[in-house]
Amino acid sequence: MIGELSKKLHAGHITAAELTDSYIKRIEEKNPSLNAYVTLLFDKARADAARADKMLKAGLGGELCGIPYALKDNFCVKGYETGCCSRMLEGYKPIYSSTVVEKLESEGAVLLGQTNMDEFAMGSTSAGSIYGATKNPVNPAYAAGGSSGGSAAAVAADLAVFAIGSDTGGSVRQPAAFCGTTGFKPGYGAISRYGLIAYASSFDTVGILAGSADDAGKVFNVLAGGDDRDLTSTERIENLQPGEADGAVKIAVLSEILEKTEEDVRQAFGKMAEILKNSGAETGEVSMPCLKYALASYYIIACAEASSNLGRYDGVRYGHRAKEFTDADDMMAKSRTEGFGREVKKRIMLGTYVLQTGYYDDYYKKACSLREKISDGFSGIFEKYDFIALPTAPKGQIRLDEKLAPTDMYLGDLATVPANLAGIPAISINIGRDRNQMPVGMQLMAPKGRERELLLFADEAEKRLKDGI
Ligand code: GLN
């Protein structure tokens, strides 16, 4: 889609202004019921489009010049509200833009608005937003997934050509799977996090939601690279072709996760695995016993980091300030009580608990060593295999009227958190439908630095599925 649109824009068959207006019209029609966008930046979008048209006329601008996109509500845009869908940051206007926004701006991409998400990116449905849930465009009775549910729904409903999300434990891949789009999480540090409001810094990754792996790759090419303002960002991305290293592509399937997969999701996954096999790939089932600790390890570390990162919202340095209070302590306590929602408070408390003297060794330190074990486990698998394939959401879709116990919600992240623990790239592609005609996603993972190889392979898989070969 980006390739075709870009050609038309560069050839002058359409203008960025016309393309942007067509998206604005669709957003006006569909967003009130979908709730994908929480902030509409149409004046800015029109100004961005006019700038893009000038760039195009002058023969400047790359493949994203004039292409309209959506941004998750946790990326700073200078002078425009960025709120993480939290009362705590309502009305906050950053004084700088995130690197992602800066890069897209200099390419001439057009920002349409900011999208709905679970408060501070903590959740799996996007229902934990102060603006209410985003509906799944395929069937509004279902959640769009989370936490980047607004971004996934915007792409699935064609209210943006592509969208930016953040993925700490699956928040780009899982909503992509739920909405039937492509969701790409590069390796940790492949894209600068500067200006992405932190949830759990050692996992937080900028991700891309798009109509295809090919589109995600085009956006990734613009965003990838080191940044002096994020010292965890890196330039180290290789340019291999799938299977280039030694012949046939080898794919591992993790038995621990497959065993815990719902039947209809497993069926769709099995069909896709057949297609990959028919295309010449070799597949094998692999066991990684330490994976059973992945969720516990993720939730302990993520909450610990969140409790520290969210300490800045005290009504003094950042965030909502309570109107009535007796002294400074009371002011901070009331500001945080009023500003944060239930899930965020729960995680801050859990995080503070596991970091306490006396519990630190039992929980936090243990979780860190398990994380390393899991990371080593992946390295071992990648010595023999090029990619790992898994269902993205083994537990299937979530209905909006479903009352999930918190631990069941966390269990849904079983297949996505391992890639964040290990910092490796992973992508979710749509591979079919479940018994309720809702989309099913397959996740492919690759070793660190192999983003391009992964994107090319996912692109090939998407094309084969489309052609039924
Ligand atoms: N569902 C996971 C969580 O709530 C992942 C969130 C994310 O990736 N931001 O932590």
Average pLDDT over residues 411-420: 96
What's the gap in Å between 416 CA and the centre of ligand 1? 9
Confidence of residue 236 (pLDDT cuts 50, 70, 90): confident
- Residue that is written with structure tokens 């060794």 in the block: 361
**Which CATH number covers residue 341?**
3.90.1300.10
- Name the residue of 122, 344, 414 whose CB sits within 8 Å of the most ligand 1 atoms, as the mutation to test its pocket: 122
Distance CA 161, CA 69 (A): 6
Distance (Å) from CA 123 to ligand 1 centroid: 5
Per-residue pLDDT tens digits for 326-339: 999 999 999 999 99
Q: Ligand 1, closest atom to CA 124? A: 1
Query: Residue 462: pLDDT band by 50, 70, 90 thresholds?
Result: very high
Taking CA atoms only, the protein residue closest to ligand 1 atom 10 is 122
For 81, the domain range is: 1-469
Confidence tier at 413 by pLDDT (50, 70, 90): very high
Ligand 1 centroid–CA 200 distance in Å is: 9
Ligand 1 pocket test: pick from 148, 168, 343, 420 the residue with the most ligand atoms within 8 Å of its Cβ.
168
Query: Which protein residue has the closest C-alpha to ligand 1 atom 5?
Result: 169
> What is the spatial distance between Cα 346 and Cα 247, in angstroms, rounded to a whole number?
49
- Residues with a catalytic annotation lie at 72, 147, 171
Q: Which atom of ligand 1 is nearest to the CA of 299?
A: 10
Record the pTM.
0.97
Q: Mean pLDDT over all residues of the chain?
A: 96
For residue 242, the model assigns a pLDDT of 72
Q: If residue 113 lies in a helix (H) or strand (E), which one and from where to where?
A: strand 110-115
**What is the Å distance from ligand 1's center to 66 Cα?**
31
Summarize pLDDT for 92-138 with one digit per residue, the tens. 999 999 999 999 999 999 999 999 999 999 999 999 999 999 999 99
Nearest alpha carbon, ligand 1 atom 4: 123
pLDDT > 80? residue 245: no
Which pLDDT tens digit goes with each residue over 154-168?
999 999 999 999 999
pLDDT tier at 243 (50, 70, 90 boundaries)? low
* CA-closest candidate to residue 261, choices 143, 396, 354: 396
Domain count within the chain: 1
Look-up of token digits 């434990």: 169
Which of 65-79, 245-259, 406-420 holds the top average pLDDT?
A: 65-79
**Which atom of ligand 1 lies closest to the CA of 146?**
1
- Calpha distance 349→306 (Å, rounded): 10
What pLDDT band is residue 184 in, cutting at 50, 70 and 90? very high
Query: Which atom number of ligand 1 is nearest to the Cα of residue 410?
Result: 1
Best CA proximity match to 212, nearest among 157, 155, 167, 250: 155
Quote the pLDDT of residue 244: 66
Which residues have CB under 6 Å of ligand 1? 121-124, 147, 166-171, 199, 302, 413
